[in-house]
C-alpha cells in the first residue's frame, strides 16, 4: 500500500534534510580537504611574502621591521642564513635546537645558544632536502610534534633566505572545531524545525485554499475567490485561478445565452417547416399553386436553417484554441471584387454603386479562405442594409480600411452589441431584412485571428466598419 505524505510534511522533512546534508558536507570537506586548503593558503602567502622580503634586503632596518610584522600577523618566520651559518650547520644540525633558535638565526652569525644546546647531546644530521631551494618542504620537530612548512631560496652565492611557519595549529584546533560544528548542527536543526514548520504551514494553508477554490470551479460554482496576497508563484497562481474563474463564468454564461438564442432562432424555421409539411400531408393545399407556396416556404426556411447551422459551425471552429492560420500575401482588390460579384443580384436590385479608393496593388497578409468569409459578410451586410440608389464607399487611411454606407431606419441600441451572436439592430426588423445576426460575430473573430482590430460606428445615418493591422 502506497503511503501518502501531505505537502506540509514533505516541506518540513525537506528543510531538515537540507540542514543535515549541509552540515555533513561541511564535515566531509573539513576532514578531507581543510588541511590541504590551509596549507595551500600558507604556501601562497609564503611566496608572496618572499618577494616582498627580497625587495627590502637592501635596507636592514626596514627588513627587520618587515620580519617582525610578518611574524606578528601571519606567524611566518623569515631567516637569512649566511655563508658561515650554512657552513657550520649544513652537515650537522639538531632539529629541536633549530626550532628553539630560529630568532638567533635571523642574524646568521649568533650561534652561541646553538653550541650550548649541543654540549650534552650529539648533533643530529638533518635531511638533505631541507637545503633544497625553490621548493616547499615539511618536517616534524622531534619531542614536540610541531610540524613546520618551510621554503628556501638563494639570494646570493653565499646566503639563503628561508621562510617557515608552523601548521600544527590546524590540528590543534580540530577538536574545538568539531565540537563547535556539533553545537552549530543542533542549533541549525532546531531553528530549521521551527522556521520550516511556520513556512510550510503558510504555504500549505494557501494551497489548501486554492484546492478548495478549484473544487468549487469543477462543479461550476464561481462564487469563491482566493484573494491570496503574496509576491511569489502562489500569489500568481491565485490571481490566475481568479481570472480563470471569471473567464469560465463569463464563457459559460455566454454559452448558455448562445445556446438559448440558437435554439430560438432554429425553432422558428423548424416550426414553419413542420407546419407546412403537415399542411401538405393533410391536403390543405388544394391545387398546385397552393402547394408551390408551401414548397417555397419549406425551401426558404431550410436554407435559413442551413445558413444558421453553417454559421454556428464556423463560430465554433473559430473559437477553437487549436486553430491554425495559413497566412499569405493577397491582393485586397481582387478579394474585394470576388465578394462583390457574389452579391451582384442585391447590388442590381437596389441600384447601388461602389466607390473604391484603394490602389490596385494593395496587398494584405491574411488567411485567404477565412478572410474571404469575413469580406463576404461585410459586403453582404453593406448591400442588405444600404439605402437604395446610394453609394457604398471603400477606402483606406493610414493603413486602416473603411467600409461606409447609408442605412435605413435607426440604431438606438449600442452598436457594440451588434458584435454579439444573434444580435440585430432595430433597422433590420423595420425594413424586413433577412438574417440571423451571426455575420458580424463571425467577421470580428476572423479579423482578430488574422491580427487586425475592427470597430463599427454610426455617424450621420452612415454605418462605418473599419479594421487595421495591430501586429
Q: List phi, psi (to 5°) of 10.
A: -60, -45
Q: Which one-letter DSSP state was computed for residue 361?
A: T
Give the CATH number, domain containing residue 232: 1.10.287.130
| Angle, alpha carbons 52-54-60 (nearest 5°) | 100
Q: Which stretches of 349-436 are assigned E, i.e. beta strand?
A: 353-357, 363-367, 391-397, 400-406
pTM of the full predicted structure? 0.48
Grid coordinates belonging to 387: 439605402
Q: Which one-letter DSSP state was computed for residue 417?
A: G
Note whether residue 384 is domain-resident.
yes
For 319, the domain range is 220-323
Shared domain for 300 and 392, answered yes or no, is: no
Non-local (6+) Cβ contacts of 82 within 8 A are 108, 109, 158, 159
Shared domain for 461 and 336, answered yes or no, is: yes
Shared domain for 313 and 372, answered yes or no, is: no
Note whether residue 193 is domain-resident.
no
Give the CATH number, domain containing residue 452: 3.30.565.10
Shared domain for 317 and 332, answered yes or no, is: no
Non-local (6+) Cβ contacts of 241 within 8 A are 210, 213, 214, 217, 226
Note whether residue 37 is domain-resident.
no
Exposure string over 297-325, b if 16+ CB within 10 A, otherwise e: bbeebeebbebbeebbebbeebeeeeeee
Note whether residue 26 is domain-resident.
no
Cell 645558544 -> residue: 113
Considering only CA atoms, which of 236, 256, 237 is closest in space to residue 248?
A: 256
Consecutive 10-residue averages of pLDDT for the chain (471 residues): 55 74 76 78 89 87 89 87 67 44 41 37 52 80 75 82 80 68 77 75 77 85 78 78 82 72 74 85 81 86 80 72 83 92 88 91 91 90 88 92 84 72 61 66 88 88 89 64
Cell 475567490 -> residue: 225
Note whether residue 17 is domain-resident.
no
Cell 469563491 -> residue: 224
Shared domain for 464 and 363, answered yes or no, is: yes
Note whether residue 196 is domain-resident.
no
Cell 484573494 -> residue: 227
The pLDDT score that the predictor gives to residue 393 is 93
Note whether residue 184 is domain-resident.
no
Note whether residue 186 is domain-resident.
no
3 state DSSP class of 242: helix
Grid coordinates belonging to 452: 487586425
Last-in-domain residue among 266, 295, 323: 323
The pLDDT score that the predictor gives to residue 10 is 67
Contact of 78 with 163, CB cutoff 8 Å: yes
Shared domain for 314 and 337, answered yes or no, is: no
Last-in-domain residue among 323, 352, 369: 323
What CA–CA distance (Å, rounded) separates 5 from 10? 7
What total number of domains does the chain contain?
3
Last-in-domain residue among 307, 323, 339: 323
Shared domain for 332 and 465, answered yes or no, is: yes
Category of 423 on φ-ψ map: left (φ > 0), alpha (ψ -120 to 50) or beta = beta
Shared domain for 162 and 268, answered yes or no, is: no
Shared domain for 317 and 435, answered yes or no, is: no
DSSP conformation letters of 22-45: HHHHHHHHHHHHHHHHHHHHHHHH
Q: Which stretches of 155-303 are assigned E, i.e. beta strand?
A: 160-166
Considering only CA atoms, which of 71, 120, 69, 68 is closest in space to residue 96?
A: 120
Shared domain for 396 and 463, answered yes or no, is: yes
Shared domain for 230 and 96, answered yes or no, is: no
Shared domain for 306 and 340, answered yes or no, is: no
Grid coordinates belonging to 164: 617557515
Exposure string over 235-248, b if 16+ CB within 10 A, otherwise e: eebbeebbeebeee
Amino acid at each position: 500500500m502506497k503511503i501518502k505524505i501531505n505537502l506540509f510534511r514533505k516541506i518540513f522533512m525537506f528543510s531538515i534534510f537540507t540542514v543535515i546534508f549541509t552540515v555533513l558536507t561541511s564535515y566531509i570537506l573539513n576532514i578531507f580537504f581543510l588541511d590541504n586548503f590551509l596549507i595551500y593558503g600558507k604556501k601562497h602567502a609564503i611566496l608572496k611574502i618572499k618577494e616582498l622580503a627580497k625587495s627590502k634586503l637592501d635596507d636592514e632596518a626596514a627588513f627587520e621591521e618587515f620580519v617582525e610584522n610578518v611574524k606578528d600577523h601571519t606567524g611566518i618566520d623569515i631567516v637569512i642564513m649566511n655563508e658561515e651559518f650554512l657552513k657550520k650547520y649544513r652537515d650537522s644540525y639538531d632539529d629541536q635546537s633549530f626550532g628553539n633558535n630560529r630568532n638567533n638565526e635571523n642574524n646568521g652569525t649568533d650561534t652561541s645558544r646553538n653550541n650550548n644546546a649541543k654540549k650534552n647531546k650529539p648533533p643530529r644530521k638533518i635531511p638533505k632536502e631541507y637545503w633544497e631551494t625553490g621548493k616547499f618542504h615539511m618536517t616534524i620537530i622531534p619531542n614536540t610534534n610541531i610540524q613546520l612548512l618551510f621554503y628556501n631560496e638563494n639570494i646570493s652565492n653565499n646566503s639563503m633566505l628561508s621562510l617557515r611557519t608552523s601548521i600544527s595549529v590546524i590540528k590543534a584546533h580540530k577538536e574545538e572545531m568539531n565540537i563547535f560544528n556539533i553545537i552549530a548542527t543542533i542549533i541549525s536543526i532546531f531553528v530549521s524545525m521551527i522556521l520550516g514548520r511556520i513556512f510550510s504551514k503558510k504555504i500549505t494553508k494557501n494551497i489548501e485554499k486554492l484546492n478548495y477554490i478549484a473544487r468549487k470551479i469543477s462543479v461550476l460554482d464561481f462564487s469563491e475567490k482566493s484573494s491570496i496576497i503574496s509576491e511569489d508563484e502562489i500569489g500568481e497562481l491565485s490571481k490566475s485561478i481568479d481570472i480563470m474563474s471569471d473567464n469560465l463564468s463569463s464563457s459559460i454564461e455566454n454559452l448558455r445565452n448562445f445556446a438559448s438564442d440558437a435554439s430560438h432562432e432554429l425553432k422558428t424555421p423548424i416550426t414553419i417547416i413542420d407546419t407546412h409539411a403537415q399542411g401538405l400531408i393533410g391536403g390543405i393545399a388544394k391545387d398546385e399553386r397552393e402547394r408551390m407556396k408551401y414548397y417555397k416556404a419549406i425551401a426558404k426556411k431550410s436554407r435559413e436553417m442551413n445558413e444558421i447551422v453553417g454559421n454556428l459551425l464556423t463560430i465554433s471552429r473559430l473559437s477553437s484554441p487549436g486553430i491554425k492560420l495559413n497566412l499569405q500575401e493577397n491582393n485586397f482588390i481582387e478579394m474585394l471584387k470576388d465578394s462583390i460579384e457574389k452579391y451582384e443580384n442585391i447590388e442590381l436590385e437596389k441600384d447601388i454603386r461602389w466607390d473604391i479608393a484603394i490602389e490596385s496593388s494593395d496587398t494584405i497578409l491574411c488567411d485567404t479562405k477565412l478572410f474571404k468569409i469575413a469580406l463576404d459578410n461585410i459586403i453582404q451586410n453593406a448591400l442588405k442594409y444600404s439605402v437604395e440608389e446610394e453609394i457604398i464607399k471603400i477606402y483606406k487611411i493610414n493603413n486602416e480600411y473603411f467600409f461606409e454606407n447609408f442605412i435605413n431606419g435607426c440604431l438606438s441600441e449600442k452598436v457594440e452589441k451588434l458584435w454579439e451572436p444573434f444580435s440585430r439592430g432595430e433597422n433590420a426588423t423595420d425594413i424586413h431584412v433577412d438574417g440571423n445576426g451571426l455575420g458580424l460575430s463571425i467577421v470580428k473573430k476572423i479579423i482578430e485571428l488574422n491580427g487586425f482590430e475592427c470597430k463599427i460606428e454610426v455617424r450621420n445615418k452612415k454605418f462605418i466598419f473599419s479594421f487595421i493591422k495591430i501586429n
